[in-house]
Amino acid sequence: MIRDIEQIRSFFPYLQSADSGGRTLIYFDNAATTQKPRIVINAVSRWLVDANANVHRAVYGLAATATEHYEAGREAARALINAASKDEIVLTSGTTASINLLANVYGQRYIKPGDEILLSEGEHHSNLVPWQMLCERTGARLRYFPVGEDGQWDLEAAEKILAEGKVRMVSAAHISNVLGIVNPVGELTALAHRYGAHIHLDGAQGIVHAGIDVQSIPCDFYSFSGHKIYAMTGTGVLYGRRSLLETLPPWMGGGEMVDTVTYGKTTYADIPLRFEAGTPNFLAAATLRPAIDFATSVRIPQVHKNEEEMTEYLMRELNSIGGMRIIGSGGKKVPLISFNVEGVHHSDIATLLDKMGIAVRSGQMCSEPLLNKFGQTGAVRVSLAAYNTMRECEAFIAALHRVLKMLK
């Protein structure tokens, strides 16, 4: 049982560390990747010794142990999103890999010239470029439904496009990595299905701050990255509803994705291995289990309350700064806030904050079209995790005031 945030912090070696000046570092770039708890770090170093053999191939005990750990990672991912079966969980190297896989296999099977793929204007490059590439290859058309001034989706506009009857696939972020707003993915899923389209949700941020039950929000596909919820880098998931996933052809060919191979012809393995050619990043994927156990154990009222209070505090304090522009201030906000201050360059702010021991993201955040839409070339982003504290938020706001004094 988790008692409080301080106890959560004690599980993370990084949060116990200090810089050369003895300062405790403040890590506010959790949307990019989270720090790792000891339970994950220890599991990897242990498994490198006692479970390091290639998975799904050999009969000896060590290989069986490695396979058990890998499959336990898959089962943990299944349980996290309440998928009906472990077969619906394809293990990938991250959200980007999941979406590229999906765009390729879905495209091969379902997309023909003149079809449309519908995205929101608020997508990460990972949920835009693979679809753009697919359209270039197939002669399909990429369309976008608008995000309003306050960052919220315009579902009426989405419905108008869907009602034209050409959209085969809708793909949109559960929570944008710039706007930090929980999008109405249940409504969009219902709309897509009403007009006969399939829907994929990019859950890279949604899995962290909102969670999903793919049976109560029956999207066709859902992607997320393990490393953003405390697992090792090089881990990710593509969930696909069985009846649809089974209709899709493989993308990469190689070991493990086959049923039988002759010099002339290959037949393919069932889902999910059909989509997992070659040696997977099996030790990293196995960390999905301890990481998801940990992420689930910190989904407690104190953490929710702390996150809400920190979000409210940061929004209030940031809004009181002259020339402040918060990108995405409407709807249900999570502790992920992007901003600019008039007359000051975002990377100067981040560079000076770094000198003060505070890590924030700056730049385009892999969302160039969205930032351009808001008339910005980049922004500063703070994104918090379960281990961040109000004390750190106060230190960040005080540091930001000092930085702005220097830069203005």
Ligand X SMILES: Cc1ncc(COP(=O)(O)O)c(C=O)c1O
The stretches of 246-389 forming alpha helices (DSSP H) are: 282-286, 288-297, 301-319, 346-355, 368-373
Q: Which of 81, 83, 199, 204 binds ligand X (CB under 6 A)?
A: 204
Q: Which of 35, 95, 171, 338 binds ligand X (CB under 6 A)?
A: 95
**Per-residue interface string for the shown chain with ligand X, residues 369-388, x marking contact by CB under 6 A:** --------------------
Stretch that binds ligand X, among 82-90, 121-129, 237-245, 381-389 (CB under 6 A): 121-129
Q: For residue 170, what are the CA distances in angstroms to 111, 112, 120, 143, 279?
A: 12, 15, 9, 9, 31
The two structure tokens encoding residue 385: 């995790």
Q: With binding defined as CB under 6 A, does residue 96 bind ligand X?
A: yes
Q: 173 vs 380, which CB is nearer to ligand X?
A: 173
Q: With binding defined as CB under 6 A, does residue 399 bind ligand X?
A: no
d(CA 176, CA 190): 20
For 266-282, what is the HEC assignment?
A: EEECCCCHHHCCCCCCH
Q: With binding defined as CB under 6 A, does residue 177 bind ligand X?
A: yes
CA angle, residues 115, 122, 333, in degrees to nearest 5: 140
Q: 67 vs 281, which CB is nearer to ligand X?
A: 281
Binding residue count for ligand X, defined by CB under 6 A: 14
Query: Nearest CA to 178 among 325, 393, 16, 358?
Result: 325
Stretch that binds ligand X, among 102-110, 122-130, 276-284, 395-403 (CB under 6 A): 122-130
CB 31 within 8 A of CB 177: yes
Helix axis angle, 288-297 relative to 61-81, nearest 10°? 30
Q: With binding defined as CB under 6 A, does residue 127 bind ligand X?
A: yes
Task: Give the active site residue among 135, 219, 366, 393.
Answer: 366
Residue type, 308: E
The sign of the dihedral angle between the CA atoms of 293, 298, 299, 301 is positive
Q: With binding defined as CB under 6 A, does residue 29 bind ligand X?
A: no
Q: With binding defined as CB under 6 A, does residue 202 bind ligand X?
A: yes
CB 121 within 8 A of CB 173: no
Stretch that binds ligand X, among 64-72, 93-101, 180-188, 400-408 (CB under 6 A): 93-101
Q: 66 vs 229, which CB is nearer to ligand X?
A: 229
Q: With binding defined as CB under 6 A, does residue 225 bind ligand X?
A: yes
d(CA 144, CA 136): 16
Q: With binding defined as CB under 6 A, does residue 205 bind ligand X?
A: yes
Minimum distance of ligand X from residue 383's CB (angstroms): 9
Told to judge if 366 belongs to the known catalytic residues of this protein, a careful annotator would answer yes
Stretch that binds ligand X, among 120-128, 147-155, 208-216, 378-386 (CB under 6 A): 120-128
The two structure tokens encoding residue 17: 């560390």
Q: Please report, as ranges, the residues that interact with ligand X according to CB under 6 A.
A: 31-32, 94-96, 124, 126-127, 173, 177, 202, 204-205, 225
Q: Indicate which residues carry an active-site annotation.
A: 366
